[in-house]
Amino acid sequence: MRTPGRQDGDEAELIERSRKGDSEAFGVLVQRYQRRVIGVALAVVHNQDDAVELAQETFIRAFENLAKFESRSSFSTWLYRIAANLAIDFWRREGRHVVLHGEDADNEISRLPTTHGDSFKEVARSQLSKRLKEALEELTPEHRAVILLREVEGMSYDEISEVLQCPRGTVMSRLHYARTHLRTILQDLAGS
Amino acid sequence: MRALTCGPSFKTWPGVEQDMAECSEISLMLGAFEDAELEPNEMQEVAYHLARCQSCSGILSDYSSVGRELRSLTPALDFTAPNLAGFADAVIARIDRLPQPWYRRIERYFGSGADFLGSGFAWGGAVAAVAVVTMLLLTPYAQQMSSRRLGAPSAASNQLAAATVAQPSTANDVSSMADNDSHAVISRLESGNPSVAVWSEPRKDTTVIWLPDQP
C-alpha cells in the first residue's frame, strides 16, 4: 500500500518519506533536481546520453543511501556530489572518446555549411564549436567539470568546492587553468 | 578574439608607474573577478587595474567569450525530448524494481496502515486487549488458578475426596500430606491397606487409585 504523493511537500518531509521507501515522494525530488544532476554529469562526460544514464544511476544510488544522508550539507549538493563522482569514475573507466549520438550528431550536421546564407560564418561557427569541444576533451575531467559547472550551470565557487570535494582555492586555480587553455585555443582559431 | 599580452597596450597616465608584475598578479584574479567571487577590496583593486590596463581588459573579454561559447555549445536540456521526457518515471520504475529490505516492507505496511485507519485502529486495539484480559480472568481455568492460589478446594478435588472416603484413614492422610511428596503418600497408604494403592499429586489435582482385581 502506498501513501498518496504530495507535490508541494517540503524537502525535509519528502526526504523522510523517501527514507521510508516512498518512491512517489522521491519522484518529486527527482523532478526537482533532474536538470541540474544531468548538467553536472554532462559537465564531466560531455555526452548527453551518458549524462542521462549517469543521472539515473545517481538518483538510484541516492535512494539506496538515503539513510546515510546527513543534513550537514544540502540534499542538492549531496546529489550533485554523487553525480560528479559517478561521472568522473565513468570518464576514467571509459577513457577519452568523442562519440556523437542523436541530437548531438544532428546539431553537428546542422552546423555544416549550406548553400543558403553566410556559409563562411557557418563554417567558422562549426569549426569553433568543434575546436572548443576538442579543447574540452583535452582537459582533465576535474578541470572540465569546474569550468562547465561555473559557466554552464552557474554554480558558485563554494558550491563547486562542495560538489567536487576540493578546497575553494583549488576551484579557483582549476578555473584559471581551464580558462587559459580554452582562451589559447580560441586565440589560435582567431589567428588562423 | 585578440592575442593579448600584458604591457605593450598599457594605457599610461602621467605620474602613474605601471608594473608588469601587477598584470601577472591581476590576471590570476580576472576569472574570479568575472564571476564576482573576489573579496570587495580585491574587486576594487582589479576594477582599478582594468580601468588602466587594456591587455587585462582584453583577457577579461576573452574569458567572457569562452563562457559564452561554452554555454552555446551545451544546449539547454529539453525535458520534452524523447530521451528526457520520461526521465523521472524511468528512475522511479527502476527504484520500484529494487529489492526492498524486510524492515522497510514492514515499516511501509504498518506505517501506511496506521495512516489509513488513523486513531480508530489504536482504539480498537486497546478495546481488543481489554477484552482478551477479561476473558482470561473469567474462564474456568482462570477461576481454578485463582482458587488454587487462595487454597479453596475445587470441584475436582472435592470429587476425589469423596472417592477416597471408603478409606477414611487414608483420606485423612492424603489431605494432611497435600504438600508432601507423592511417593510418601503411596507408602503411607500401603502401610494402612496393602491391597489399595493411591497415587496423589495435590499440586496437579490428580489422584489415581489402584484397586486389587476382584476374584
| pLDDT value, residue B169 | 47
| pTM of the predicted model as reported, rounded to 2 decimal places | 0.59
Closest in A107, A147, A175 to B70, CB measured: A147
The helix/strand/coil state of B200 is strand
- Quickly count: other Cβ atoms within 10 Å of residue A61's Cβ: 15
Given 3.40.50.720, 1.10.1740.10, 3.90.79.10, 3.40.109.10, which CATH number is that of A11-191?
Answer: 1.10.1740.10
Considering only alpha carbons, which residue of chain A is nearest residue B106?
A20
Residue type, position B52, single letter: R
When scoring B28, B72, B77 by the number of chain A Cβ atoms within 10 A, the one with the most, hence best to mutate, is: B77
Characterize the bridge pairing of strands B206-210 and B197-201.
Answer: antiparallel
Kindly state whether B91 is in contact with chain A, defined as any CB-CB distance less than 8 angstroms: yes
| pLDDT value, residue B10 | 45
Residue type, position B85, single letter: A
Closest in A21, A27, A150 to B88, CB measured: A27
Give me the total of CB pairs closer than 8 Å, taking one residue from chain A and one from chain B.
125
Residue with more model confidence, A133 or B140: A133
Residue with more model confidence, A64 or B206: A64
For the segment A45-61, the average pLDDT, to the nearest whole number, is 91
Kindly report which listed range (A8-22, A87-101, A130-144, B174-188) carries the lowest average pLDDT score. Answer: B174-188
Residue with more model confidence, A186 or A112: A186
- What B81-89 contacts at long range (C-beta under 8 Å, 24+ apart), as own/partner pairs, is B81/A103, B83/A48, B83/A49, B83/A52, B83/A102, B84/A38, B84/A52, B87/A30, B87/A34, B87/A38, B87/A52, B87/A55, B87/A56, B88/A27, B88/A30, B88/A31, B88/A34, B89/A27
Answer whether B112 sits within 8 Å of A60, measured CB to CB.
no
Residue type, position A147, single letter: I
C-alpha–C-alpha distance, residues A85 and A43, integer Å: 12
Q: Which residues of A touch B38 (CB under 8 A)?
A: none
Where are the domains positioned within chain A? 11-191
Q: Which residues of A touch B109 (CB under 8 A)?
A: 1
- Which residues make beta-bridge pairs with B200? B207
- Quickly count: other Cβ atoms within 10 Å of residue A41's Cβ: 31
Answer whether B83 sits within 8 Å of A52, measured CB to CB.
yes
Kindly report which listed range (A132-146, B4-18, B62-76, B177-191) carries the lowest average pLDDT score. Answer: B4-18
Kindly state whether B124 is in contact with chain A, defined as any CB-CB distance less than 8 angstroms: no
Answer whether A151 sits within 8 Å of B66, measured CB to CB.
yes
ipTM: 0.74
Considering only alpha carbons, which residue of chain A is nearest residue B93?
A23
Task: Write the CA distances from B145 to A10, A48, A75, integer angstroms.
Answer: 58, 77, 61
Closest in A23, A27, A183 to B63, CB measured: A183
Element holding B199 (H helix, E strand): strand B197-201
Distance from CA of A93 to the nearest CA of B (A): 23
For residue A15, report the phi and psi dihedrals to the nearest 5 degrees.
-65, -45
Q: Which of B108, B17, B16 lies closest to A24 in space, CA to CA?
A: B108
Question: For residue A37, what pLDDT band results from cuts at 50, 70 and 90?
Answer: very high
Answer whether A64 sits within 8 Å of B98, measured CB to CB.
yes
Residue with cell 568543434: A130
Distance from CA of B124 to the nearest CA of A (A): 21
Give B26-80 pLDDT, tens digit per residue.
Answer: 988 999 999 999 999 999 999 999 999 999 999 999 999 889 888 888 777 677 7
Answer whether B71 sits within 8 Å of A23, measured CB to CB.
no
- Which residues make beta-bridge pairs with B198? B209
Say if CB A51 and CB A38 are below 8 A apart: yes
Kindly report which listed range (B50-64, B111-125, B150-164, B187-201) carries the lowest average pLDDT score. Answer: B150-164
